[in-house]
């Protein structure tokens, strides 16, 4: 007499699912901007400050991502790109998700506060705007992208605030650079993910559609991104400076993004939008590296 045993799949580890809830890879990439801002603003290098900034930045961003997934769990289940997240899959309970998000937020803000209170304040502001304003607005209006660009722009300036404990023209410029960058970047994603977003009721392109007005908005904001990217070369942004060689390099990267935006206008293809998105990522990373190199040579 044979006996058949059915093995049920084991539940993933809590730590692994917590990392997925906080989108660790994305959180780490966002914190790269904070590190760049720190190197641009630092007067005396401190390993303690830098490590606290990295740890606090990663955990605060992860907390924002976790709260976002808690709020959007039902809509996430409708989209191909998000239905494999822990909450739609049921690999985490809501109680577990709330605990993880809150724990990450508390320890993250503590780390930023140890650097200085202003850094913690801007870290907290980014979480509030992202989770309590941007996230609920996403399903109501494409203007949510403008609101979301505010917390999305804070990490770059946060590094300078951590280094200087000050908010002035320099931090405002860093904020503006990452603020305007987000529009061609995110609208490119909204373009090639249009149908998937629509399943959940999200219409995040400027005109809510894949049409010529949205294409023109992408071009316009790409131009503004390029302008603020080279602004320090004119000597009007305080101690945040850029040489003409550095400005030429940043401008070349910006032209690459602009060219892809123009090509999207000519050929409204999802593959073209993906190229625009990838070039925008390269622009932001390249611009920040150019600024750091330019400061120290």
Query: Residue 9: its pLDDT value, please?
Result: 53
DSSP type of residue 71: H
| SS3 assignment, position 236 | coil
**pLDDT for 6 beyond 60:** no
Query: Residue 3: its pLDDT value, please?
Result: 42
**pLDDT for 178 beyond 60:** yes
Query: Residue 201: its pLDDT value, please?
Result: 94
Q: What proportion of the chain, given as a percentage, has pLDDT over 90?
A: 90
Query: Residue 12: its pLDDT value, please?
Result: 78
User: 237-242 long-range contacts, Cβ below 8 Å, gap at least 24?
Assistant: 237/169, 237/170, 237/173, 238/168, 238/169, 238/170, 239/170, 240/40, 240/160, 240/169, 240/170, 240/173, 240/174, 241/294, 241/295, 242/291, 242/294
Instruction: Write out pLDDT tens, residues 217-276.
Output: 999 999 999 999 999 999 999 999 999 999 999 999 999 999 999 999 999 999 999 999
**pLDDT for 11 beyond 80:** no
Instruction: Write out pLDDT tens, residues 34-86.
Output: 999 999 999 999 999 999 999 999 999 999 999 999 999 999 999 999 999 99
Query: Residue 4: its pLDDT value, please?
Result: 44
Query: Residue 2: its pLDDT value, please?
Result: 42
- 13-167 CATH: 1.10.357.140
Structural domain boundaries of the chain?
13-167, 168-297
Question: Which of 2-6, 27-31, 193-197, 243-247 shows the lowest per-residue confidence on average (mean pLDDT)?
Answer: 2-6
């Amino acid at each position: 007499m044979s006996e058949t045993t059915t093995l049920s799949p084991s539940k993933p580890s809590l730590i692994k699912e917590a990392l997925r809830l906080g989108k660790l890879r994305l959180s780490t990439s966002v914190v790269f901007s904070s590190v760049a801002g720190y190197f641009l603003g630092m007067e005396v290098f401190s390993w303690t400050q830098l490590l606290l900034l990295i740890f606090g930045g990663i955990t605060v961003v992860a907390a924002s991502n976790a709260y976002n997934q808690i709020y959007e769990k039902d809509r996430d289940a409708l989209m191909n790109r998000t239905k494999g997240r822990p909450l739609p899959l049921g690999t985490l309970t809501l109680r577990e998700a709330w605990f993880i998000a809150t724990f990450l937020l508390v320890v993250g803000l503590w780390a930023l506060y140890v650097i200085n209170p202003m850094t913690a304040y801007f870290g907290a502001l980014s979480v509030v705007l992202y989770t309590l304003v941007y996230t609920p607005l996403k399903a109501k209006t494409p203007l949510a992208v403008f609101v979301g660009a505010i917390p999305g722009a804070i990490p770059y300036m946060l590094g300078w605030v951590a280094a200087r404990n000050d908010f002035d023209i320099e931090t405002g410029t860093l904020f503006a650079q990452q603020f305007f960058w987000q529009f061609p970047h995110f609208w490119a994603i909204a373009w090639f993910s249009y149908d998937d977003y629509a399943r959940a009721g999200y219409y995040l392109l400027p005109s809510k559609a894949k049409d010529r007005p949205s294409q023109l908005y992408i071009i316009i904001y790409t131009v503004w991104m390029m302008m603020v990217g080279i602004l320090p070369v004119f000597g009007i942004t305080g101690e945040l400076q850029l040489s003409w060689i550095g400005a030429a390099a940043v401008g070349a990267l910006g032209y690459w993004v602009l060219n892809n935006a123009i090509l999207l206008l000519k050929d409204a293809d999802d593959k073209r939008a993906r190229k625009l998105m990838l070039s925008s990522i390269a622009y932001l990373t390249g611009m920040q590296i150019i600024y750091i190199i330019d400061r120290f040579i």
